Structure 1
Amino acid sequence: MNMASLSNTLSGQSKEQTRGFLSRLKNEFLESPLASNVVLGFILAGFEKLVELDFACPCRPLYNACFAAAYIVLPGVVASVVMLCIQGCRKTSDIKHRVLLGIVPFLMWLILAFFDGQYYACAKTYWSGRFVMVDKSDHQKWCEPDNSTLSQENMSHTQQWYFHSQLIGLVILVISTIAFGVQQLKSKYCKCCEQDSQGQAIGSNNNASDIALTEAPVE
């Protein structure tokens, strides 16, 4: 065997292994809710970083809340719709379980958005100004007021809103984790109870069959 044929053989094996790996990865993504949620979680985290760089609060009291709410809610809704479509491809009749898993990306985005803080701070801002960075060493941004005499007071409010936003994100994270854990334990407990009841039913049927054979008249 010359070097050319050996190289072609190795290249063919490498392509087959790559196709097999991609096929297994695709099946795992479609069949495993955990895997699909983890992948979407990483995608959302990267997307949030991009949005964070491009986000610019209008710093107008009439528009701040609506503008910030769109950033907080809409990406999570889109991610949940994508997850529901992915879960719809799975062969399962447990609609309730599928919907619960579809909500996970929305909660992930809420946690990321509130941990960032600038969307919530923008929504709470009630004065007009310019959206600037607080400090170059700190990535926090705020609406610097047109009235410079109120700058210090308004900056203090903004920093409090950043803290409140991160606190909300932490609460959502803790509650979601507890709820997901309880749901998983409940699901496993119900499966164990179902298996036990099926085993008892099979045992009762076998005992009934044995009794019937024992009591049958001998000709």
Structure 2
Amino acid sequence: MPSPHDLLKSLHDVLSKSIFFSSVPMSLLLIGLEGLIEPNLSCPCSEGWNKPLIALIFIGPFLFTFALMFILLRPCTCEHRCSVDPKALLKCLFPPVMWIIILLLDGDYVACASTTWKGNYASSIQSIRKWCVPSNLSLTEKVSDFQFKYQTFIATSQIAGYGGIIVISLIIICVGATYCYEKTYTETQGGAEDGAEDGAQGGASNGMQGGAKVEALWEYFLDKSMI
């Protein structure tokens, strides 16, 4: 599973190859993106710092990637009056939402924010994965109990991440099905209208031809009568 920093690195690689980013403002945005790629999570394991740090990790790149996509796609246009393109706006929201889902699937970020005890962010003998190993335990407290809580936080975060993937998948399927239905309905209506027009034109043509034949016969009859 790719880490959040791998996602940012891939986004940076794609955007850096775009001609649009040759301008100075976009170059400055890329520098900021490079700064987000470098650091790795280091949970402070302090109740007063955990939640603010993780909140910034969630919100900061979310707004940053949304701003990049907003500048690229420009879903809002203001000529005679301002209007918003819903499809372009959804495209702008897709990378930021994926950023949130990847953080949830990683699990460590939500687990860090949920930690209420003081400790050191390191790997213990029982676990290779880094977590907030508690310090200054009392005689009745066990490290395994805190580790179980931390693993529960990770599992809860991953469940939320997979739930988000399911919701997004259902939305995409519904939007795709609606688009296919509207396209098929439009083509069917267009074919029916074309058939009706062809039928009307054919009927009028046949009527005109029939009228011309009757008129020719009537003229022929009058000519004979005059003779």
Would the TM-score normalized by the shorter structure come out above 0.5?
A: yes
Cα-to-partner distance string for 1:159-200 (whole Å, 9 max, x where unaligned): 111111111111111221222122112212211211111121
Asked if 1:79 corresponds to 2:65, the answer is yes
Take 1:88 and 1:136, find their aligned partners in 2: how far apart are those partners?
A: 50
Considering only aligned residues, what root-mean-square deviation do their CA atoms show, in Å? Answer: 3.3
SS, match of residue 63 in structure 1: helix
Aligned residues: 174
Q: Distance in 1 between matches of 2:164 and 2:35?
A: 20
Question: Could you give the per-residue CA deviations for residues 6-42 of structure 1, whole angstroms, max 9, x where no partner exists?
Answer: xxxxxxxxxxxxxxxxxxx969xxxxxxxxxxxxxxx
Higher helix proportion: 1
SS of the residue 2:130 aligns to:
strand
Match of 1:152 in 2: 144
**1:2-17 → structure 2 map (5 Å cutoff):** none
Q: Partner residue of 2:188? A: 196
Distance in 1 of aligned mates of 2:133 and 2:68: 38
**Aligned-pair CA distance for 1:47:** 9.7
Uncovered stretches (5+) of structure 1, i.e. residues with no partner = 1-24, 28-43
Report the alpha carbon displacement of residue 153 of structure 1 after superposing the two structures with TM: 2.1
Amino acid at match of 2:152: Q
From 176, 181, 186, give the equivalent of 1:184: 176
Kindly state the Cα deviation for residue 86 of structure 1 after the two structures are TM-superposed: 2.7
Cα 1:197–1:157 shift into 2, 3 Å? same
Aligned equivalents of 2:192 and 2:72: distance in 1? Answer: 37
Does the 8 Å CA contact 1:117/1:166 hold for their aligned counterparts?
Answer: yes
Q: Which residue of 2 aligns with 1:214?
A: 206
1:61 and 2:47 are equivalent in the alignment:
yes
**Cα–Cα, structure 1 residues 136 and 95, in superposed 2: closer, same or farther, change >3 Å?**
farther
CA contact (8 A) 1:114 1:169 kept: yes
- Aligned pairs for 1:112-127 (under 5 A) are 112-127=102-117
Identical pairs, percent: 23
Q: Secondary structure at the match of 2:66?
A: helix
Q: Is contact 1:69–1:119 with CA below 8 Å preserved after alignment?
A: no
Larger radius of gyration: 2
Cα distance between partner residues in 2 of 1:108 and 1:47: 19
Task: Please give the alpha-carbon distance, in whole angstroms, between the structure 1 residues aligned to 2:156 and 2:192.
Answer: 54
> Secondary structure of 2:48's partner?
coil
Runs of 4+ in 1 over 4 A off after TM superposition: none
Deviations 1:133-152 (CA, angstroms, capped at 9, x unpaired) = 345972x3222223323433
